[in-house]
A and B are shown apart, each in its own frame.
Chain A
Amino acid sequence: MSADLSAHGASITLKGLTKRYGDATAVDAIDLEARPGEFLTLLGPSGSGKTTTLNMIAGFVDVTEGELLIDDKPVHSLPPYKRNIGMVFQHYALFPHMSVADNVAYPLHQRKVAKAERQRLVAEALKTVGLAHLGHRRPAQLSGGQQQRVALARAMVYSPRVLLMDEPLGALDKKLRDTLQLEIKRIHAELGTTFVYVTHDQDEALVLSDRIAVFNDGRIEQIGTATDLYERPSTVFVAQFLGESSLFHGEAISSGGGYGVHSPGGTLRAQRGNASSGEPAALVVRPERIRLVPTDGAEPTADNAVRGRVRQEIYLGNSRKLAIDLPDGSQVLVRESAGDISASRPGDDVWLTFRAEHAAVLSTGPSTTAPTTNLGVH
């Protein structure tokens, strides 16, 4: 047991991990590895399988198929209480009949840690989360943010080598979430424990994670750093779920080493892509990479230029967002930062221009069901 209490993270490996409920597949043969000490986020909409995956790692949900290894040892047959994992739940799950200190001491009790040592570790853990003075209170006497700090202290007090978090900030308000995000990040850096964090909040994922696995429909769409996912999304789903994207639908073509798409607005080119020639595809570009040029001058000389008409303007303070109608009836977004705002107004005809290096042509074949673009304010 004492060897397990060392404070460095374990690796977690999922190989072809599958969970089926009757005919429904919740998690579909996913492969995933969390490196020792890594902060790995499972990001996805509700029902995408991220929480089921976390619950399989914790041992609350049986594995239907596949392998689950912690430090290269299979754990799928171990009950949760033998896995030596820490976990923080969305709704705190503190024991209401115990004081805060007793809650934090609970895992140490189960591990038969001697009283003096127990008290020392509890005090230390409560200090880490900034609640050293509240040990005698009952959970119900604390605010939501404080309760979640207690839950965090309880999860880390025995220095588990893996810490799972299931939307821990989901029940808190925005301001508290921001503060706790930074604390979680700090605690991760201090402990060196492997964190697996589930959330549907993309901003949270971007702030916290070393790497993010984007879940959709029981599968992992893409795994990578925040920059990888934002700058080089490999599926339309990722492009739309993580940040905003403008899509130009059409038929994929290959053009001289690069990629392209035949769209109703003309042929557009991109440096990257994964769609093979002839299949339905979308050229994806981030709204802030598009420049608007007035139509009264000559056709612009950018890599790509598409005509459109400004339909709506959304003022966001530090930027503005424009919804543009394309000739084929679809709509794309353009974002202009403050200080770089063009003269275009709703009703104006404009050229949308962007460089091929900022665009990617991604398959929209029958397998990828992309959600509709969110036009609202984030």
Chain B
Amino acid sequence: MTKISVRVWRLVLAAFCALVALWLVAPSLIVIPLSLTDKPSFAFPPTGWSTRWYGNFFDDPSWTGALLSSVKVGLLVALVATAAGTATAVALTRSKFRGQQAVRGLVLAPMIVPVIVVAVGLYALFLKAQLLGTTFGFVVAHSVLALPFVVIPVTASLQGFDRRLENAAAICGANRWSTFRQVTLPLVAPGVVSGALFAFVTSFDEVVMALFIQSPYLQTLPVKMYSSVTRDTDPTIAAAATLILAFTTVATLTATVYIARRNRVR
């Protein structure tokens, strides 16, 4: 091929990629202008601009309360699922035992089993245990959903980890816990960090299960948005969506930059 035709093809490829990116991102980005409209409607494009819906969001305790609940549940889920998921990943990569494949399947099942099915079962269970509308209940339910999102990246990190380093640490005098804490964990940190992030996001935007186990006293942001869109229909929901978008984007970018830096050091 000549130089010129190579350039043309590059341009075509770039245009195509831009189109795909737009396709993927554009629907999410529409909420940004929608949240800045001056009219109490979802007319697009907006005819005037204002930040009143953001004001509305932060003035209404039911919105801020929902945001706080979501952040609180999300952080707790990230903590619980990351600890449990990392331990699970270590067990699954390091030991060989009967039924290992079954355990792996069970851990990953929440990704495959329809959430609505789990939600119905959980509702019956929580009703009996009186866990509906409790932070504890939310954390337990979301941690189950988030577990596979931790197990997968941590397993991948562990598989790329050179186990001879653990032997080296052991012969240097480090017991198994010190070895894990000082050698293994720092080196699989990128996997653990992305697992924690996925766990947080999984909980933060989970709506199906949350609808079942919510109560008027504990609603997460997606639940509040859902009831808002079915009842009030005003652009406050667009403001909420924009805030979530900004929040998750910043979190993801931070994690990506962190992991990229880590990898460069190695």
Contact = CB atoms under 8 A, between A and B. Distances in A.
6 contacts: A81-B173, A81-B179, A89-B167, A89-B168, A93-B167, A138-B265
Contacts of A60: 167, 170
A155 B164 CA distance: 15
Q: What are the 6 tightest A-B residue pairs by CB atom distance, in nearest-first order? A: A110-B173, A93-B168, A107-B172, A80-B170, A87-B171, A93-B164
B175 A81 contact: yes
A154 interface: yes
A106 B169 contact: yes
A79 B175 contact: yes
B187 interface: yes
A323 B174 CA distance: 55
Interface string A250-290: 00000000000000000000000000000000000000000
B186 A93 contact: no
A84 B173 contact: yes
Nearest to B262: A97
B87 to A, nearest CB: 21
B173 A93 contact: no
Contact of B183 (A81, A95, A140, A164): A95
A171 to B, nearest CB: 12
Contact of A96 (B174, B175, B187): B187
Interface in A54-83: 58-60, 79-81, 83
B266 interface: yes
The interface size bin for chain A is 20 to 34
Contacts, number: 67
B93 interface: no
B59 interface: no
A86 interface: yes
B167 A80 contact: yes
B246 interface: no
A154 B172 contact: yes
Contacts of B173: 81, 84, 107, 110-111, 158
Given A138-B265, A140-B266, A95 B174 contact: no
Contact of A81 (B162, B165, B170, B266): B170
B188 to A, nearest CB: 11
Contacts of B183: 95
Interface string B142-170: 00000000000000000000101101111
A14 interface: no
Interface residues of B, number: 21
Contacts of B176: 79
A96 B266 contact: yes
B178 interface: yes
Contacts of B168: 87, 89, 93-95
A83 B167 CA distance: 13
B195 to A, nearest CB: 18
A93 B179 CA distance: 13
A164 B170 CA distance: 14
Nearest to B173: A110
A95 B167 CA distance: 11
A358 interface: no
A353 to B, nearest CB: 52
A93 B170 contact: no
Nearest to B189: A97
Given A80-B170, A81-B170, A140-B266, A93 B175 contact: no
A91 interface: yes
A223 interface: no
A125 to B, nearest CB: 13
B206 to A, nearest CB: 34
A101 interface: no
A40 B143 CA distance: 55
Interface centre among A81, A84, A94 (most CB of B within 10 A): A81
Given A106-B174, A107-B172, 14 more contacts: A58-B167, A60-B167, A79-B176, A80-B167, A81-B179, A83-B171, A85-B171, A89-B168, A93-B164, A97-B187, A106-B169, A138-B265, A140-B266, A158-B173
A87 B174 CA distance: 13
A141 to B, nearest CB: 10
A82 to B, nearest CB: 8
